[in-house]
Structure 1
Amino acid sequence: MTAPTPDEAASPTPAAVLSVSDEALADDGYRAAVVDLVAAVAYGEISAFERLAEDAKLAPTLADKVELGSMAAAQLGHVTELRERLHALGVDPFEAMEPFREPIESFHRHTAPSDWWEGLVKAYVGDGLAADFYLEIAGFLDESTGDLITRTLTDVRHSEFVVGRVRAAIEADPPLGGRLALWGRRLMGEALSQAQRVAADREALIALVAGGVDRPGLDLAEVGRVFTRLTERHNERMGRLGLAF
């Protein structure tokens, strides 16, 4: 998934400064939450690979096709390390990913781009929102797993390509900006709904975020701040694309 750039992820959120010892993996509940999060990210990368490879067919030039194909390859490249982590946790990676298949694919069905430009905006904005959500949860993980999730979701080398192409297209065709701004709003709503569904359906993730006697969690006020941060980052990405939001 196209995620925040290293600069975007540089400032830790309140969740990200929390630390959980590797010893926590001995706890079945915590371990189940780690499996869920790693599996969700892994399937998200597989899904992003498929979608970007498909969107490359819409590319107006051969150079654009190659660039999007390179983005797809980068997503698939992340999956190997995530699968290895799931193996190390003693689970079958594909079985662990299966519960996330439908909610992630449902998001993509509801946000299928109608053209090349919508596909580019989705690759940058929509996937960035999903990455932000998982990065918030990653702040509750043991150091090795948290580092893996953060590294996976901030390893982005193609953001400037998307930003440059979209901004140039809007400059050449100003009405396109209005359509893509509306598309960005739709992506925002769908992504937040997906994040809420994923969290609500996985009891281990809820328990992880809620905390316990051995670690802090999020109270209702902090949950609200998390979604505020997600919205703010989305608006920043829209601004970089030259889209009013």
Structure 2
Amino acid sequence: METDESPVPESEEAVQVASQDWAAASADPRYRAAVVDLLGALAYGELAAFERLAEDAKLAPSLADKAALARMAAAEFHHFEQLTERLRHIDEEPTAAMEPFAAALDEFHRMTAPSDWLEGLVKAYVGDSIAADFYREVAARLDSDTRSLVLRVLDDTGYASFAVEKVRSAIERDPRVGGRLALWARRLMGEALSQAQRVVADRDALSTMLVGGVADGFDLAEIGRMFSRITEAHTKRMATLGLSA
């Protein structure tokens, strides 16, 4: 996943939490529930990324590509282990924390199964980047201990530069590939945003934390601005890939 600076907390409540450690912030049961949701969603996402990269390695056109993807898959699994270890440390059962997010993520992967090696590369690059942007938005509102862990597991495993190199090379060899992959990436963007919006809508504690408030409900305008920022970042990444957004 790509690295980037996390957004600046916007509300006074978010700033207050961001200046606290886990021991202080988790005294609020609503905040604790939000963090458990976040860690569960992230952990399942990392597990799914590991599985996907291992599958993509089977489609790799060369032994070098196969080995590169295997290394990245191992890095994703290490991230998964860090997250589940943290859940156990705060006395939460990892499987229970991940379960609420499994169906939505599994459905996303079912709806966006790539048909070839290049589509698999674009899917991982686009999908992982959108997810990373989403989680960085949340990270800005976390206590210092949890924020450090979340940003650490969002570190780029090397996949971004790998995917950009392979996709751009393929387009240079055959420009027609670019049109097909651009359409594919637009579909991925729509599916990924729909999934993220479902997560926000379905998990009250997480959606409340997203807008930095502990009041009931959440600000739809702020959620809209967050997704606009994610869309803008996606457009820039598409240009890096050599594709139109």
Report the TM-score, using the length of structure 2 for normalisation.
Answer: 0.91
| Distance across 2 between alignment mates of 1:24 and 1:35 | 13
Letter of the aligned partner of 1:170 in structure 2? I
Report the 3-state secondary structure (helix = DSSP H, G, I; strand = E; otherwise coil) of the residue aligned with 1:154.
coil
Change (3 A) 1:16 1:97: farther
Q: State the Cα deviation string for residues 130-164 of structure 1 (Å, max 9, x = none).
A: 11111111211111101111111124323221111
User: How far off its partner does 1:210 sit?
Assistant: 4.1
Q: Which moved more, 1:57-66 or 1:200-209?
A: 200-209
Letter of the aligned partner of 1:119 in structure 2? G
Instruction: Give the fraction of aligned pairs with identical amino acids, expressed as a percent.
Output: 59
Q: Which moved more, 1:89-98 or 1:41-50?
A: 89-98
| Distance across 2 between alignment mates of 1:136 and 1:126 | 16
Q: Where in structure 2 are the equivalents of 1:135-174 lying within 5 Å? A: 135-174=136-175
Report the equivalent of 1:4: 2
Q: Which moved more, 1:185-194 or 1:223-232?
A: 223-232
Q: Where in structure 2 are the equivalents of 1:50-129 lying within 5 Å? A: 50-129=51-130
Report the equivalent of 1:37: 38
Report the TM-score, using the length of structure 1 for normalisation.
Answer: 0.91
Change (3 A) 1:122 1:16: farther
User: How far off its partner does 1:13 sit?
Assistant: 2.0
The CA RMSD measured in Å over matched residues stands at 1.8
Report the equivalent of 1:223: 223
Report the equivalent of 1:187: 188
| Distance across 1 between alignment mates of 2:213 and 2:218 | 10
User: How far off its partner does 1:184 sit?
Assistant: 0.6
| Distance across 1 between alignment mates of 2:59 and 2:122 | 14
Whether the 8 Å CA contact 1:16–1:136 is kept in 2: the answer is no
Gapped regions of structure 2 (runs ≥ 5): none
Report the 3-state secondary structure (helix = DSSP H, G, I; strand = E; otherwise coil) of the residue aligned with 2:9.
coil
Gapped regions of structure 1 (runs ≥ 5): none
| Distance across 2 between alignment mates of 1:93 and 1:138 | 20
Over 4 Å off, 4+ runs = none
Letter of the aligned partner of 1:78 in structure 2? H
Whether the 8 Å CA contact 1:15–1:137 is kept in 2: the answer is no
Q: Which moved more, 1:18-27 or 1:177-186?
A: 18-27
Report the equivalent of 1:234: 234
| Distance across 1 between alignment mates of 2:214 and 2:44 | 31
| Distance across 2 between alignment mates of 1:128 and 1:209 | 18
